[in-house]
Amino acid sequence: MLAGCKRSDTCELNPEVAKVAAPVQIERLEGPFFRIRNEADAKQFLQQHPLFARQYLQQRQYPSQEILANTLVRLATNSGLQKLGREAETEFKDTNKLQGQLKQLFQHVRYYFPSFRVPPVQTFVSGLSQDLFVNDSLMVIGIDYFVGPKASYRPNVPAYILRRYTPEHLLPTIALAVSSKYNQHQLTNQTMLSEMVQFGKSLYFAEKVLPCTPDSTIIGFTAKELASVEFNEGKVWAHFIEKNLLYNTSPFTIQKYVGERPDVPEIDKTAPGRIGAWVGWQIVRKYMAEHPNVTLAQLMADKNAQHILTESRYRPKRRK
């Protein structure tokens, strides 16, 4: 268990980060949503929350407002969704706690990226249709996704992904989504290395803006999986080198190592899916350790994965 919690000694808030202003406004939409009983109620809900209707519900994609309104009526009056809504509201009943967590997250983002605009935050019970929506002007959290194993209904995804839908994984999910705003990468000629480093930069970003969050929670590995990959880091890296994988451009091959899978048997039957992303994270960590003057903003803007690998001097040794 120690492996998943090794950064717990850095949990005191940096005094400089604490000075950063990051006011967070949270609007809970579950209450007004579940009070919808008819089309008129739904239309009023849409009128009262125009940004939510336009961006999250994609109102303009519906042939008419009536069709969207009737869709909301069906959802809001569905007994199963109402039950899930009550469970979600119970799990996330402490708005002040969530507000405090988000404030610290956004303080860290603004510390590294002062121009970051904190979006208004809304919580919603999506009917398990979308876990998170975020852009510069709005963030919507589908809290029904993050209730955890006690929920009556859970997202229809494989077990190795499902375990990342718990309250503890909400903030890492947000941090990784926000990282995409800054994570520059080459759009053409993608190689295994470029994909690994791109994911590694996102994970490093999440690590910096969530300094109290265990590595295992950030990447979604179990503590046992994380301990195993850390112990076998040299063996994993040797696999990429010996199989000439770093400059492979086959999307199918790249997906096998950085994409969602229960495991990567090509390395070992116990190797967790997305192990390539984890290796990319270690490359980025080593690069930043070797170059303490490089800022997080400079790292995220660097599109040259080969430069990051070369300058990292990343050479983990295989254990005998």
Mean pLDDT, all residues of the chain? 95
Report how far apart, in Å, the C-alpha atoms of 14 and of each of 3, 24, 55, 59, 210 are. 23, 19, 35, 42, 12
- 175, part of any domain: no
Instruction: Kindly state whether residue 185 falls inside one of the protein's structural domains.
Output: no
Is the pLDDT at 154 greater than 90? The verdict is yes
* For residues 97-116, average pLDDT: 97
The answer on 298 and 229 residing in a single domain is: yes
CA dist 195 and 248 (Å) reads 11
Domain shared by 32 and 120, yes or no: yes
pLDDT digits (tens, 9 = 90+) for 172-217: 999 999 999 999 998 888 999 999 999 999 999 999 999 999 999 9
Examine residue 45 and state whether it is found in any structural domain, yes or no.
yes
Other beta carbons less than 10 A from residue 153's beta carbon = 14
Between 12-21, 39-48, 277-286, 290-299, the lowest mean confidence (pLDDT) is in: 12-21
H-run or E-run covering 305: helix 305-312
3-state secondary structure of 141: strand
Task: State what percent of residues in the chain have pLDDT above 90.
Answer: 93
Q: Are residues 150 and 206 in the same domain?
A: no
Please give the pLDDT value at position 13: 80
Q: Of 132, 157, 182, which residue is a domain's last?
A: 157
Could you tell me the two tokens for 189? Answer: 């000629």
293 plus 239 within the same structural domain = yes
Spatial separation of the C-alpha atoms in residues 314 and 294, rounded to whole Å: 17
Condensed to tens digits (0 to 9), the pLDDT of residues 251-291 reads: 999 999 999 999 999 999 999 999 999 999 999 999 999 99
Asked if 201 and 183 count as a contact pair (C-beta separation under 8 A), the reply is yes
Residue 199, in any domain of the structure: yes
**Same-domain check for residues 153 and 261:** no
| Same domain (yes/no): 132, 215 | no
DSSP SS3 for 311: helix
In a shared domain, residues 22 and 107: yes
Strands 132-134 and 268-272, sheet pairing: unpaired
Residue 250 belongs to what domain range? 192-312
- Strand ranges for 20-90 from DSSP E: 26-28
Q: Provide the number of structural domains found in the chain.
A: 2
Q: How big is the CA angle at 36 (ends 35 and 38), to the nearest 5 degrees?
A: 145
pLDDT at 10 over 70: no
Residue 282 contacts residue 314 (beta carbons within 8 Å): yes
**Prediction pTM value:** 0.94
Length of the chain as a residue count: 320
Confirm whether 153 is domain-assigned: yes
Residue 5's pLDDT is: 44
Q: Judge whether 2 lies within some domain.
A: no
Q: Are residues 252 and 149 in the same domain?
A: no
| Strand partners of residue 250 | none
- Residue 25 is assigned to a structural domain of this protein: yes
- Tell whether 153 and 282 lie within a shared domain: no
Same-domain check for residues 43 and 149 = yes
Per the CB < 8 A criterion, the answer to whether 139 and 122 are in contact is yes
Identify whether 211 is part of a domain. yes
Res 2 pLDDT > 60: no
